[in-house]
Structure 1
Amino acid sequence: MKNICIVGGGACGVAAFIELFIQITTQDLKDKVAIQIIEKSSKAGYGLAFGSEEKGHLLNTQSELMGIYSREVNHFTEWLSENADKARGKVEDTGDIESAYTSRIMYGDYLYEQFTYYLNKAKVLGIEANLVCDEAYDVDYEDNKFIVSLQHGDPIKCDYIILALGNPEATNFKSFEKYPQFLNTPWPSHKVLELVDPEDHVGILGSSLSGIDTIMTLVDNGHKGKISCFSIEGLLPRVQPVHNKDIEREILTLNNVHKIKREHFRAPRVTEIFRLFMQEVEKQYGKRLDWKKLDRMGGDPYDFLKEDIAAAEKGGDPLLNVAYSLRYDAATLWSWLTRDQKNLFKKWLGPQWTINRHGMPLANAKKLLPLFESGTLNVFAEVGEINNDGVGFQVSYGSDNIQNVDKLINATGSPSKLEAMDCTLTSNLVKKGLIRPYEGGGALINELTMESLNSKSINGIYATGHMVNGMLLDVNAVWYNVRSISSLTKDIIFKVRYGEDS
């Protein structure tokens, strides 16, 4: 009997459990595998991401890409159709159900229902599968077994570990936690509402999707005071159309990029891929473009927001749609880049790619417009020194500008580097050499199997989601994680069936 331990019961943990269940049952391995799912909350599926009941906390991807089954990407859409009564009031932008941006809690309900169904099925079929409501904080390796230590319960011995830890808290402003006017994360949202008074001037560190969610938490609960977002670039996410226009790329294709490898005997360069991207966008526009004018750095976020809403209502502009069309190929292109080229991409194009590839729902964008127009909301770039004056914070930005805010919320997102993640389990795994940091962020893994590589040559630890944010690209996308988890579980089941050395 091989024991598999899934650490984390959010979306990735649920996907891993279901995929293992399907492979165990279809390969008749019911008496050879046991599964333990360790989740610190009482219910699997929700986590911080999908446990929010705020009406403005919407999925940032249409429902048609959110199925939890690797080969049934439309399953969530089908579930929504079958549960229309539950979805009422929890779905935005519904030209049709496939294009719906549902509430986060609705997706959490879906994950919980799927998980519960297969957990109960496992018991009926005689498969040992248990949800352990506890928190893992350490792992040891003795006598060819992993020993997972828990905060409250007895240690669990296992042969394989799947790290599905979700997104750790930001650590870049941890020193501010001593101040009562500061909150290090906008999750769960009730902490924001407990901290902030309705008339407070609220400062939000970050203007990406987490920053947008923070704004939604405030305005959907009647906040009247000013809101100021501070970030390095001062860029808002672009606006996702209800229906993305299908783009059939002819220039930026895997074939053309692979030709660079084949003809020049080297990895492609970021400049070469971006040149193909520009040509593809210009082809869709039907004209040459002034790319310097398309650079949003230093521009007015309000003007861009108005442009983006207008474009989204027409199906998006070619720039946004070409970026969207790359969703299935971007991971392959990323894997073809060298480490240095990946770092160059992050430094040179990272912010622009992020706002185009990971846009906000149209419904939320429309809520931002009146906030800008009334002077309630501002977005400031080039955030600098931040100081607490005893009653609030002074935030400097740009050229010697300062804003005084009553409360400050960190919405900058999770750290990339393993060493910077505020996670006891991750820290202990790194200290013991059981996982190895990748220079570009996250853990070093075999991209084909998701198995972690370490200095001790110990096999059997797998990672997914934000834990592999450096080696893989779209680790915040559920559909991408589901697909990579399918490869991960296949590797484990293959070893169970044929032996570790097969």
Structure 2
Amino acid sequence: MPKTLTIIGMGACGVAAFAEAVTRLSYDPGDGWLIHLIERDDALARGLAFGTEQPGHLLNTESRLMGLYDQEPGHFRTWLEARRAEAGTPLDPDGVEYPQRREYRLYMRDVLDRALDRARAAGIDVRIHHQEAVSIEGNHLAARITLSDGTTIATDIVLLTIGTPDPDRFGTLNGAPGYFDSPYPAHQMTEHIERDQPVVILGSGLSAIDAVMTLLDNDHRGHIHLISKEGMLPRVEIPAPETGYERRYLTLENVHRLIRERGAAFSIVDLFRLFRTEAETAAGRPIDWQAEDRYGGDAEAALLHDIAVAEAEDEPFQRILTAARHDSTAIWNLLRPVDQKRFGKWLAPHFAAARFVTPMINARRLADAMARGLLTVRGQIDETVADEGGAGFTVTFDNGDTLETPIVVNATGQATTLDEMKEPLIKDLLAKQWLQPHPVGGAIAHRATCRIISATRDAPRLYALGQLLNGELRDTNAVWFNVECAGRAVDDILRQR
């Protein structure tokens, strides 16, 4: 009897999982499968990050790591080279390329369309639903998904690929005039923020930089304030960070050896010592680690420094962290929960700044905006409150300074813990204890298969990809890693016959 798989969310993770399932089923269909694709947006293969039309919204990962087929990270680069050649603007085969995200959306759609065509040719029944999944009922044998229009879908297995959940961090600001809960979709900002208005953007990471690019793309003239706890910008991409470095110290082998020889747990201190030794070896010189702590420092000076060292290809951190990407989750899972929490408190902002970097073209735009007095970055924010009567907002800093602004954009990034995710479906599954919170974020799941581990034995068969597993699988912001996980999950799903 045919089995039913339902994929909820058809952004990058959903497309990758569907393409992998169709690839497998087209040559080994078993007793047959029905696949439901649920997407609340009016278009599949778009998602929040890639649905933008802003020219300044670029991929933050080099094109050679963005393929959507399992074990083929370079597929997007191959697709991109063919597309550019056809347009008469061929890529340099050895060049670094960070395309606009709207171009990547075309690639996602192409992968989806090819999978749909292949499914039809193979006789795989695929049904598409443009609704939001709001709840799930059932048990281990079968589940029933309720959609926002009241219809239900019977299914055997559910794969949650809901993308990047919005955080519910500033609930007291919701509904206040001039408050934007997210920088996406970008048209909300461009349509409702006047060009001469000063703007406060909460956050200073990649989402915040997207918000700045949205404003700059639309010739914004009012002052832009990037404000966060750390006051740190991401570092600047170096050419081809995925090539040219072989680790000697920060390796899974050395981590295991430390645990075995000492008979003690691997700690956050051990992790930093290995990284420090690796970095100084790669740099060929001692590193002033106190100077590398940019918390609350001069963001403009740091940005100019990062541009210079990236141009000189003299920045070791990105090469080390990119080279370690295939070991990062395994190393992460060898840390105890207490050390994972310490990582989040002590090292996570510095790790994120070096691992999730800004393309050079956008870094130069930021530096230009700073030089023109249009953009400032500041750390040590305390709180943001809406003024009475809807007249604007007041931002307070740890030292007691205040800043008045008519516009606030929440660009603090994705939700990490289940209780701050605003998705109705997540709240439903959390209330049923079918999702269990991981100690440092996301849900508890089987690391090798991405299958959700529920608190009750009667839970439906649930799998997840992406940010829902951010505590269990650390690198869930990376498309290449989520594609790899999609392959694992689909492999396990299709074995259940």
Q: Normalising by the residue count of structure 1, what TM-score does the alignment of the two structures yield?
A: 0.95
Deviation at 1:97, TM superposition (A): 6.8
The 10-residue stretch of structure 1 (54-63 or 253-262) with the greater mean CA deviation from structure 2 = 253-262
Match for residue 380 of structure 1?
Answer: 378
Deviation at 1:123, TM superposition (A): 1.4
| Cα contact 1:64–1:74 (8 A) shared by 2 | yes
1:347 aligns with 2:330: no
Structure 2 CA distance for partners of 1:85 and 1:248, relative to 1, 3 Å: closer
Match for residue 448 of structure 2?
Answer: 448
Match for residue 313 of structure 1?
Answer: 311
Match for residue 465 of structure 2?
Answer: 464
Match for residue 499 of structure 1?
Answer: none
Deviation at 1:142, TM superposition (A): 4.9
Give 3-state SS (helix, strand or coil) of 2:47's partner.
coil
Deviation at 1:355, TM superposition (A): 0.2
Cα distance in 2, alignment partners of residues 208 and 99 from structure 1: 22
Structure 2 CA distance for partners of 1:143 and 1:164, relative to 1, 3 Å: closer
Q: State the number of aligned residues.
A: 492
The 10-residue stretch of structure 1 (57-66 or 373-382) with the greater mean CA deviation from structure 2 = 373-382
Cα distance in 2, alignment partners of residues 108 and 97 from structure 1: 23
| Cα contact 2:142–2:460 (8 A) shared by 1 | no
1:236 aligned to which of 233, 238, 243: 233
Match for residue 52 of structure 2?
Answer: 52
Deviation per CA, 1:442-485: give whole Å up to 9, x if none. 11101011000111123510011011111111101000000011
Q: What does residue range 243-392 of structure 1 map to in structure 2 within 5 Å?
A: 243-244=240-241, 246-389=244-387, 390-392=390-392
| Cα contact 2:441–2:471 (8 A) shared by 1 | yes
Q: What does residue range 58-457 of structure 1 map to in structure 2 within 5 Å?
A: 58-84=58-84, 96=93, 99-142=96-139, 144-152=141-149, 154-244=151-241, 246-389=244-387, 390-457=390-457
1:6 aligns with 2:7: yes
Cα distance in 2, alignment partners of residues 195 and 97 from structure 1: 42
Give 3-state SS (helix, strand or coil) of 1:322's partner.
helix
Unaligned runs of 5+ in 1: 497-502
Structure 2 CA distance for partners of 1:291 and 1:476, relative to 1, 3 Å: same
Deviation at 1:265, TM superposition (A): 3.0
Deviation at 1:320, TM superposition (A): 2.9
Give 3-state SS (helix, strand or coil) of 2:254's partner.
helix
Deviation at 1:147, TM superposition (A): 0.2
Give 3-state SS (helix, strand or coil) of 2:408's partner.
strand
Cα distance in 2, alignment partners of residues 143 and 459 from structure 1: 4
| Cα contact 2:141–2:460 (8 A) shared by 1 | no
Deviation at 1:163, TM superposition (A): 0.3
Structure 2 CA distance for partners of 1:87 and 1:417, relative to 1, 3 Å: farther
Structure 2 CA distance for partners of 1:437 and 1:383, relative to 1, 3 Å: same
Cα distance in 2, alignment partners of residues 37 and 333 from structure 1: 34
Structure 2 CA distance for partners of 1:264 and 1:6, relative to 1, 3 Å: same
Counterpart of 1:265, as a letter, is G
Give 3-state SS (helix, strand or coil) of 1:229's partner.
strand
Cα distance in 2, alignment partners of residues 227 and 36 from structure 1: 44
Identity %: 35
Cα distance in 1, alignment partners of residues 85 and 351 from structure 2: 37
The 10-residue stretch of structure 1 (141-150 or 293-302) with the greater mean CA deviation from structure 2 = 141-150
Cα distance in 1, alignment partners of residues 96 and 317 from structure 2: 20
| Cα contact 1:77–1:98 (8 A) shared by 2 | no
Cα distance in 2, alignment partners of residues 460 and 180 from structure 1: 43
Counterpart of 2:305, as a letter, is E
Match for residue 26 of structure 1?
Answer: 27
Counterpart of 1:62, as a letter, is E
| Cα contact 2:266–2:335 (8 A) shared by 1 | yes
The 10-residue stretch of structure 1 (3-12 or 108-117) with the greater mean CA deviation from structure 2 = 108-117
Cα distance in 1, alignment partners of residues 96 and 127 from structure 2: 35
Cα distance in 2, alignment partners of residues 126 and 279 from structure 1: 55
Structure 2 CA distance for partners of 1:417 and 1:315, relative to 1, 3 Å: same
Cα distance in 2, alignment partners of residues 423 and 61 from structure 1: 27
Q: Normalising by the residue count of structure 2, what TM-score does the alignment of the two structures yield?
A: 0.96
Deviation at 1:436, TM superposition (A): 1.4
Cα distance in 2, alignment partners of residues 104 and 405 from structure 1: 30
Counterpart of 1:35, as a letter, is I
| Cα contact 1:52–1:188 (8 A) shared by 2 | yes
Cα distance in 2, alignment partners of residues 489 and 238 from structure 1: 35
| Cα contact 2:4–2:35 (8 A) shared by 1 | yes
Cα distance in 2, alignment partners of residues 28 and 271 from structure 1: 49
| Cα contact 2:22–2:118 (8 A) shared by 1 | no
Counterpart of 2:226, as a letter, is C
Deviation per CA, 1:185-210: give whole Å up to 9, x if none. 01000001122100000000000000
| Cα contact 1:208–1:412 (8 A) shared by 2 | yes
Cα distance in 1, alignment partners of residues 166 and 88 from structure 2: 32
Deviation at 1:86, TM superposition (A): 7.6
Cα distance in 1, alignment partners of residues 489 and 193 from structure 2: 43
Give 3-state SS (helix, strand or coil) of 1:35's partner.
strand
| Cα contact 2:296–2:380 (8 A) shared by 1 | no
Counterpart of 1:321, as a letter, is R
Counterpart of 2:65, as a letter, is L
| Cα contact 2:394–2:404 (8 A) shared by 1 | yes
Deviation per CA, 1:398-435: give whole Å up to 9, x if none. 41212221211000012211111101000001111222
Unaligned runs of 5+ in 2: none
Structure 2 CA distance for partners of 1:314 and 1:3, relative to 1, 3 Å: same
Deviation at 1:174, TM superposition (A): 2.0
| Cα contact 1:81–1:97 (8 A) shared by 2 | no
| Cα contact 2:238–2:315 (8 A) shared by 1 | no
| Cα contact 1:6–1:164 (8 A) shared by 2 | yes
Structure 2 CA distance for partners of 1:170 and 1:98, relative to 1, 3 Å: farther
Structure 2 CA distance for partners of 1:156 and 1:259, relative to 1, 3 Å: same
Deviation at 1:27, TM superposition (A): 2.1
Structure 2 CA distance for partners of 1:51 and 1:475, relative to 1, 3 Å: same
Structure 2 CA distance for partners of 1:160 and 1:436, relative to 1, 3 Å: same
Deviation per CA, 1:14-33: give whole Å up to 9, x if none. 0110111111123243x421
Cα distance in 1, alignment partners of residues 86 and 401 from structure 2: 48
Structure 2 CA distance for partners of 1:65 and 1:197, relative to 1, 3 Å: same
